[in-house]
Amino acid sequence: MKKFRLYGTSACHLCEVAHGLIARQTASVAGFDVEEVDISDSEALFARYGVVIPVLQHPDLRELNWPFDDQQLRDFLAS
């Protein structure tokens, strides 16, 4: 199973949009797990991602920064 992380915050509208895109892409495909990480819980994560969220992190630690569209997301998930 591929485990991705979506970095964001609960008050981030763009994070909600990204979550929706990811949910649509992974709903029909087995083997994907997306953990949502709230960067406001960690000073280090807030310092790293505070101005670039949402960010989707691949299991191999590559990152896909917002903005991304369906095709970019599909390619990233498949890689």
Residue type at position 48: R
Q: Please give the average per-residue pLDDT across 63-71, as a whole number.
A: 95
Q: Which two tokens stand for residue 36?
A: 């949502």
Domain boundaries, the chain: 2-78
What pTM did the predictor assign?
Answer: 0.93
Domain 2-78 sits in CATH 3.40.462.20: no
| Residues 38, 46: Cα–Cα separation, whole Å | 9
Does the pLDDT at position 15 exceed 90? yes
Does the pLDDT at position 61 exceed 90? yes
Q: Let me know: does 34 contact 44? Beta carbons within 8 Å.
A: no
